[in-house]
Chain A
Amino acid sequence: MDTIERRRERLDRGIKVRTEGIYAVSSWQEVAYLVLPRLVLIVGLLLLPLLIPSLFGPYWKRVISYAAIYALLALGFDFLAHFVGLVSLGGAFFIGVGGYTAALLNTSLGLPPALTIPMATIGGAIICTLLLLPALPLRGVYFAIVTLMYPLALMRIIEALNIFGGTDGILGVAGFTNRWIEQYLIIFIVIFALFGLRRLVNEDIGLVFRGVKDNDQSVRASGLSVTLYKAIAVFIASGLGSLGGAYLAHIYMWSGISQFALDFSIIPIAATVIGGGGTLVGPLLGCFFLVPISEWLRTFGTLRIVFYSVILMAFIMFRSEGIMVYAQRKYHQFQRWVKV
């Protein structure tokens, strides 16, 4: 019997030279090769508010905003976990602090959302960073536990002391007047956060962050304070989370203890697993995949948790590197069959 033996050959595309992130570009095809994925992402995100509600119904426009808020949290999580080495379960903490700050500023001082959202972003980031400051020398799971305790504790404190509206929450927060502004503003913020963070991690200060993750003793021996740079990184991530929380408060026109719910801590991690950690864009896409699925599964009632778990487990077992890590590798490689 005649058999031909073949093997699969994989080659890196020649456009990538020397080291990560440096390319030799000499034609418009190569420019397109580099720019096209970014363009597809940006255009795709911008089309979402136009397409989804008209295809699935008006309810889904809210889902896009939720997905974008989760995407901010996931970006912060991925940045902290893969570029600074801090595993943070603080999503709920950041959302809650941001949400309450915005709601309080709006209801008690009467400030409009255009002021409360930026103020809650900065204010929330300052509050979160100060509260997490004692935990910064901790690493790995210990830091994660502290970030998880804060939202649980704050939720019960608000409930027990009956402050900030207690279990009813803060009612009468101003909403967005225009739904297009509501949807597009958060999408622009997400795009800006994604490309901003991607640039940041390759700047000199970003290298310091990555140094802290790789080897904090060397960073100290290099004359840099590890705690200072961890604090800056936590400030950035908690700022993104607080921004999401403030946005959520204005979308709901309400702020309550459910903003400290664990969903905000867990879904960003799940999205990072699915999307691919360390790519920043992966967790973002993971959110735009997971949050709509979670909403869609609501029709199955309590069974949705089962489906949700199965999807997650399948990803962890069969594609644990995540979609984007896989996609990026394939995008940068030729693959062909050659005769042996």
Chain B
Amino acid sequence: MSGEDILQVKQVSKTFGGVQALLNVSFNVQQGEVFGIIGPNGSGKTTLINCITGFIKMDSGKVLFQGKNISNRTPNKIANLGLTRTFQIMRPYYSLPAYKNLVIPLFSPRARRTGGWRGGGKLGDRGTVAIDILEEIGFERDSFVPYKLASSLPTGYLKRLELARCLALRPDVILCDEVFSGLSMSEIASMVPLIEKLQLDGITLVMIEHRLRELFRVASRVMVLNFGQKLTEGIPEEVMQDERVKEAYLGSEKASDYI
């Protein structure tokens, strides 16, 4: 870990009508780390990712990626800079086979510029490159799975397909929106090493997660959101000892808080 900040989020705020979805949220992500974002339902985690990646215009605040101001740029421009995201509700192209799903990100300006998967240089046939990426992410090459329609794939594969779509862009950062949710225990068990491998490949990961045990296995630092505000930030063990965090997750034990 070089300790250099690859992603800086400064004072981001967002309201939907009268609802304050985010209020002055700031955090920095260091090059090569796995950074966790946790918080109860409705605390603004997904909104935060949407603001960073340009899917939602933020009201105020600033996002710096590799030192460059990318606030409120269009999602496709941000993706082309190497800041990619997965969707919590998987969004594959259901009418296409799995490997053809990856041809689309491989068609992007960034993929064309950076060339082929791993090897660099010429991109070559996108379908072949797509199957290489799918094998990397756990689709067995010799099975029929990469050729199956995305609509017929189980959740575990669709989650991997989401990650694969990011990988096809050869990203510097992936913002993962709940990659573990909806998976069985065995699927999660095979997903954790995958995350660790991505980190070894030099990809910085920001993970929104409800599966805290698995998240804490991979994350070096976590941030806690509650009602759109940042509660605290630190190493997982410290954060979970924080009284405010316990309160946010389990509710206050003091009856006076409810009056």
Contact = CB atoms under 8 A, between A and B. Distances in A.
B168 interface: yes
Contacts of A215: 91-94
A225 B80 CA distance: 10
B105 interface: yes
A149 interface: no
B104 A224 contact: yes
Contacts, number: 89
A50 B147 CA distance: 45
Given A204-B126, A207-B96, A218-B87, A224 B107 contact: yes
B14 interface: no
A223 B107 CA distance: 9
A22 to B, nearest CB: 8
Contact of B94 (A18, A214, A220, A226): A214
A222 B148 CA distance: 21
Interface in B95-121: 95-97, 100-101, 103-111
A221 B53 contact: yes
Given A19-B149, A207-B107, A223-B76, 13 more contacts: A19-B147, A207-B96, A211-B101, A214-B94, A217-B87, A218-B92, A220-B76, A220-B79, A221-B79, A222-B168, A223-B79, A224-B76, A225-B74
Contact of B104 (A18, A19, A211, A217): A211
B95 A210 contact: yes
A87 B117 CA distance: 36
Contact of B144 (A18, A211, A214, A224): A18
B91 A223 contact: no
B97 A19 contact: yes
B62 interface: no
A42 B215 CA distance: 60
Interface string B157-170: 00000000100110
**A interface, how many residues as a size bin?**
20 to 34
A284 to B, nearest CB: 22
B85 interface: yes
A208 B104 contact: yes
Contact of A18 (B92, B108, B147): B147
Contacts of A213: 95
Interface in B50-94: 53, 55, 74-76, 79-80, 84-85, 87, 91-94
A207 B103 contact: yes
Interface residues of B, number: 36
A214 B96 contact: yes
A179 B79 CA distance: 54
B93 A214 contact: yes
Given A19-B97, A207-B100, A223 B147 contact: no
A42 B180 CA distance: 52
A53 B8 CA distance: 73
B108 A222 contact: yes
Nearest to A202: B100
Most chain A beta-carbon contacts within 10 A, residue among B75, B85, B111: B75
B94 A20 contact: no
Given A19-B147, A208-B104, A221 B97 contact: no
Interface string A3-33: 0000000000000001110000000000000
Given A222-B105, A223-B105, A217 B97 contact: no
A219 interface: yes
Contacts of B126: 204
A223 B92 contact: no
A229 to B, nearest CB: 9
Contacts of A225: 74, 76
A145 interface: no
Interface string A211-245: 10111011111111110000000000000000000
Contact of B93 (A211, A220, A223): A211
Contacts of B111: 223
A310 interface: no
A337 B111 CA distance: 52
A205 interface: yes
Given A223-B79, A223-B169, A204 B107 contact: yes
Contacts of B109: 223
Contact of A220 (B75, B103, B107): B75
Nearest to A220: B75
B195 to A, nearest CB: 19
